[in-house]
Structure 1
Amino acid sequence: MTGRLYGVGLGPGDPELVTLKAARLIAAADVIAFHAGVGKQSNARRIAAELIPDGVIEEELRYPVTTGETAHPGGYAGAMAEFYEESAARLAVHLEAGRTVVVLAEGDPLFYGSYMYMHDRLSDRFETEVVPGVPAFAAATAAVASPLVRQTDVLTILPGTLDEAELARRLADTDGAIIMKLGRTFPKVVSALRQAGRLDGALYVERASMPEERWLPVTDVDPDSVPYFSLIVVPGDSKPSVAEMPTRPTGEAAELLIIGLGPGPDKWITPEVTEALAEVQHIVGYAPYVNRVPQREGLTRHASGNTVEVDRARLALDLALKGERVAVVSGGDAGIFGMAAAVYEAAKDEAYADVPIRVLPGVSAVQAVAARAGAPIGGDFAVMSLSDRLKPWSLIEKRLRAIAKADLVLAIYNPASRSRTTQVAEAQSILLEHRSGDTVVVVGRDVGRDEESLTVTTLEKLDPDTIDMKCLLIIGASGTRTTPAGQVWTPRFAERSRFES
């Protein structure tokens, strides 16, 4: 009969925060295992010292390296993977012998803990139980006695090892935050907090719940004094609301910019847009597009969902009316199924009559897909959205027939979604009433991104089940051709066809 594996959380450091269950299991264990850093005593072993019975077998699992510097041929990742395999093998010997093995874990075993790597390797072979522990951030929040999140506030837990730009973006977008894994990352984390406008409210906590515990504002911390056992608490109350944001005292409305970010890669963002984004105070838009704008000091982000275009337009107009420099962002070109029309719709209200509006162009998705394919829109073409959220399907059908009869190349945005699963097939059927089955079709998916794919097929062979919101379709005209290399182009000159009357 094999033994049982326990991952036991010990809490943040104070032995009195160890749970009764954890204490009971430690006292009854045959084997106590714990991790230790290079040249250091195990903190987990220290916390549990008074609970470990005499005569128990102890397994010290000492890391081979604690930084990214190692001579291992597989680098840091390779060295650590080998260490975890060897550690799991050591524990497996005890488990196979029928012994109860308790792996001590600081904080909670499955929260940035080393126990999880033993769990990954052993839980499918041996009976396993995880005992939760008080996480370090709970002790840190208690130490500063500052409410972390209230009511509908969002809490984000971040490792300080994140890229600085990504860390700043996430800090700007959340209410409350905990930043862990400090030490050498501390200066970068401080910079990210400053860029996100969250530095003033951030609190540094060191060795929470331990005798050496101390806390102070992040701005007062000496970066050279920061140990690994430290974290930063960013209370949700420290995030300024729109109403609290200072406005320029001129009383004059500022120009509202509507910006196209292009379909994906930063290299497709125009220099004009880059310059504008560096100067505005606020970014307003659909969350995935707002997330593409790097966070910096003095920038406030206002991200929202996908069906509130006019509401976010009004927010932008309200800010501009107060004299704030605001940019509303869209993917692709803001004037093609983007936020430009929504802003002008909201701006019909006389309250916004003094707000000047300027649209900055961006590379559109149809341009990006067409360029990847060759030159399918080299002649006359039309652009449509199959979404019936703002117009009835009957109108979409009418326009599809008109475009098909006119023998225009057709670019289709928003072809399908989770709730719209039949419209591509219906559009295909309508177009086949007027066009040959061998009409060239281009399907671009995630063009400009890592997952990019481009498929050239025909109208008859197009499989509607393979199309979703990540796709843009280009349906060729009668004159659209393919090259021997598979590229697609439409002549600039008109050709007589069966579509002419």
Structure 2
Amino acid sequence: MSGRFYGVGVGPGDPELITRKAARLIGGADVIAYHAGVGKESNARRIAASLFPAGVIEEQLTYPVTTGATDHPGGYQGALAEFYEASAARLAAHLDTGRDVVLLAEGDPLFYGSYMYMHDRLAERYPTEIVPGVPAFVAATAAASSPLARQTDVLTVLPGTMPEPELARRLADTDAAVIMKLGRTFPAVRRALAAAGRLDHALYVERASMPQQRWLPVAEVDASSVPYFSLIVVTGDSRNGRRSREVRSSPVPEPAASSAAELLVVGLGPGPDGWLTPEVSAALADVDHVVGYGPYLARVPQRPGLTRHASGNTVEVDRARAALDLARAGERVAVVSGGDAGVFGMAAAVFEAAADPEHPEYADVPIRVLPGMSAVQAVAARAGAPIGADFAVVSLSDRLKPWTVVERRLRAIAEADLVLAIYNPASRSRIEQVAVARDVLLEHRKPDTVVIVGRDVGRAEESLTVTTLAELDPGSIDMKCLLIVGASSTRVSRAGVWTPRYVR
């Protein structure tokens, strides 16, 4: 009969923060294992050492490397994978003889800890139990006597190893945050906090709950003195107007008519930074507010002084009104769209909101639309030149128009023998429209009509498929796709897909 495997959290450092259950299991273990750096004492062992029973077998699992530098043929990840396999084998040898093994974990076993890698390798083979521990950030907030999150505040836990621009963006988009894994990453983390407008409300806590514990404002920390066992707490009380806000449900105070600023509506392109126009980049660098659907807003770099207003995917007019309110108050605002803002984007929603007779106050807000590369241009360029002649663009979404209208337009385009670009072909709640659209087109087009399926064009997951109308698989299409259905003259050659400019 095999032994039991326990992942036991021992808390952040103070032995008195070990739970009673953890203490009982440690005191009755046959084998106690713990991780340690090369030439260093195990912090987990130091925390729990007073509870070790006499004669217990100890297994110190010493990391082969603690930084990215290694001569292992598989690099840093290869060295660690080999280490975890060997460590699991050592523990399995004890479990196979019937010994109970307790693997100590600083803080909590499942929170940024090494226990998880042993769990992945052993939990399916042996009876396993996990005992939670007090995580370091909880001890840190207690040490700083600073409430972390209140009521509906959103708490985000971030590793300091994230790319600096992404870290800044996420810090701007949350109410409260905890930043782990500091050490050498501290200078970049501090810059990200400054870019997000959160530096003045960020607290640095070192060795929380340990005798050497200290805390102070992040702005006052000597970067050369930051150990790995440190973290940063940004509390939900840091509501300094520079964090991301949901779209307003009530208007801003009534401004003077002459104070309205120009409202910009910009297209971010289909994805890559290289497809963002210089004009849009300059506009985003100059505004004080950006308003948009969350995933698109995430593509806007965070910087000091920029406030982000994120919202969901089906509240375009509400989003437009929020931007108009800000512009009326004299704020410099940009509404962002993916692709081109004028192609199934936010431009029309902004003009719709501005022309609403129930909101005459918006009529005097100047609006300027800055173009961006559209998704149809990106997919067409990847394929060759399929829209080199007359073409039409249709969205299969029936959220804002009846499906009967969509079908009537598809038939008209098919009869006119136009190349057709199809946006929004499917979603999780719309899975049948692609098949219906294909059948409608086949009423007027030959089965071998060329179809291009572009998915995530411009992104790392990009794929491009050239097929035919008859062979198009509706089940393979999702919201990440854009379809281009060729005309009767569209051709496929070695160079790509193209449509002649002439008609004979």
TM-score normalised by structure 1 residue count:
0.95
SS at match of 1:315: helix
Alignment of 1:40-189 (within 5 A): 40-189=40-189
> In the alignment, does 2:12 pair up with 1:12?
yes
* Cα distance change of structure 1 residues 51 and 392 upon mapping to structure 2, 3 Å threshold: same
Shift of 1:250: 12
Deviations along 1:204-242, one digit per CA (max 9) or x if unpaired, are 111111122211111121212211111111111213348
Matched residue, 2:249: none
Structure 1 segments unaligned to the other structure (5+ residues): 496-501
In the other structure, the counterpart of 1:325 is 332
| Secondary structure in structure 1 of the residue aligned to 2:259 | coil
- Distance 1:196-1:243 versus aligned 2 partners, 3 A rule: closer
Deviations 1:271-293 (A, max 9, x none): 11111111111111111111111
Cα distance, 1:341 vs structure 2: 0.3
Question: 2:472 maps to what in 1?
Answer: 462
Question: Is 2:36 the counterpart of 1:36?
Answer: yes
After alignment, is 442-451 or 162-171 more displaced?
442-451
Q: Distance in 1 between matches of 2:260 and 2:367?
A: 11
Q: Specify which of 334, 350, 367 is matched with residue 377 of structure 2.
A: 367
Task: Write the distance in 1 (CA, Å) between the matches of 2:42 and 2:257.
Answer: 60
- For the residues of structure 1 that align with 2:472 and 2:42, how far apart are their CA atoms? 62
Is the 1:250–1:323 contact (alpha carbons within 8 Å) kept by the matching residues of 2?
no
SS at match of 2:300: coil
- Any idea what the Cα deviations from partners look like across 1:130-160, whole Å, max 9, x if unmatched? 1110111111111122221122221110111
Name the SS for the 1:296 alignment partner. coil
What SS class does the counterpart of residue 258 from structure 1 fall into? strand
State the Cα distance separating 1:173 from its structure 2 match: 0.9
Change over 3 Å in CA distance of 1:429–1:264 after alignment to 2: same
CA deviation digits over 1:340-385, x for unaligned, max 9? 0001111123212332111111111111111111111111111111
Cα shift at 1:35: 1.2
Aligned to 1:476: 486
Give CA-to-partner distance per residue, 1:284-320, whole Å, 9 cap, x none: 1111111111111111111211101111111111111
1:419 aligns with 2:429: yes
Correspondence 1:399-410 to 2 at 5 A: 399-410=409-420
Give the C-alpha shift of residue 74 in structure 1: 2.6
The SS at the match of 1:34 is: strand
Please state how far the C-alpha of 1:415 moved relative to its aligned partner.
1.0
Give secondary structure in 1 for the equivalent of 2:237.
Answer: helix
Q: Please say which of residues 150-159 and 236-245 is displaced more in the overlay.
A: 236-245
1:199-278 matches, cutoff 5 A: 199-241=199-241, 252-278=259-285
Identify if the C-alpha distance between structure 1 residues 90 and 242 changes in structure 2 by more than 3 Å, giving closer, same or farther.
Answer: closer
Cα offset, 1:397, TM superposition: 1.5
Deviates more, 1:68-77 or 1:313-322: 68-77
Matched, 1:493 2:471: no
Residue number among 299, 312, 324 corresponding to 2:319 in the alignment: 312
Q: Which amino acid aligns with 2:190?
A: V
Task: Using the TM superposition, give the Cα deviation of residue 16 of structure 1 relative to its aligned residue in structure 2, in angstroms.
Answer: 0.9
Q: 1:161: how far off? A: 0.9
Q: Any idea what SS the aligned residue of 2:466 has?
A: strand
- Contact (CA 8 Å) 2:174, 2:243: kept in 1 or not? no
> Identity of aligned pairs, percent?
76
Identify if the C-alpha distance between structure 1 residues 243 and 209 changes in structure 2 by more than 3 Å, giving closer, same or farther. closer
- TM-score normalised per structure 2: 0.94
CA–CA separation in structure 1 for the residues paired with 2:243 and 2:324: 14
Find out whether 1:390 has 2:397 as its counterpart: no
Q: Contact (CA 8 Å) 1:9, 1:22: kept in 2 or not?
A: yes
The answer for the alignment partner of 1:499 in structure 2 is: none
Question: Is contact 1:401–1:431 with CA below 8 Å preserved after alignment?
Answer: yes
Contact 1:456 1:486 in 2 (8 A): no
Farther-moved stretch of structure 1 (393-402 vs 431-440)? 431-440
**CA spacing shift, 1:436–1:83, aligned 2, 3 Å:** closer
Amino acid at match of 2:120: D
Letter in 2 for 1:492: R
Deviations 1:423-453, CA, capped at 9 Å, x for gaps: 1111122222222222222211111112212
1:446 to 447, 456, 459: 456
**Structure 1 residues 478, 163: closer, same or farther in 2, change over 3 A?**
same
Cα deviation digits, residues 111-144 of structure 1 (max 9, x gap):
1111112212222222111111011111111112
Q: CA RMSD in A?
A: 2.1
Q: Relative to structure 1, is the Cα distance of residues 384 and 156 closer, same or farther in structure 2, using a 3 angstrom cutoff?
A: same
* Distance of 1:388 and 1:415 partners within structure 2: 10
Q: Is contact 2:242-2:306 (8 Å) kept?
A: no
What amino acid is aligned across from residue 497 of structure 2 in structure 1?
V
Q: Distance in 1 between matches of 2:366 and 2:55?
A: 79
Partner of 1:334: 341
Q: What corresponds to 1:379 in structure 2?
A: 389
Q: 1:141 to 1:88 in 2, by over 3 A?
A: same
Q: CA deviation at 1:78?
A: 2.2
Residue 205 of structure 1 contacts residue 214 of structure 1 at CA under 8 Å; is this kept in 2? yes
Count of residues paired in the alignment: 494
Kindly state the Cα deviation for residue 262 of structure 1 after the two structures are TM-superposed: 0.8
What is residue 250 of structure 2 aligned with on the other side? none
- The verdict on how the C-alpha distance between 1:468 and 1:301 changes in structure 2, with shifts beyond 3 A counting, is same
Q: Is the 8 A contact 1:251 1:322 kept in 2?
A: no
**Which amino acid letter does the alignment assign opposite residue 165 of structure 1?**
P
The offset of 1:75, in angstroms, is: 2.5
Superposition deviation, residue 460 in structure 1: 2.0
The answer (yes or no) to whether the contact 2:196–2:242 under 8 Å persists in 1 is: no
Question: Once structures 1 and 2 are overlaid, which stretch shifts more, 75-84 or 464-473?
Answer: 75-84
Q: What displacement does 1:457 show?
A: 1.8
**Residue 490 of structure 1 aligns to which amino acid in structure 2?**
T
- Whether the 8 Å CA contact 1:187–1:223 is kept in 2: the answer is yes
CA distance in structure 2 between the aligned counterparts of 1:106 and 1:440, rounded to whole angstroms? 59
**Alignment match, 2:248:** none
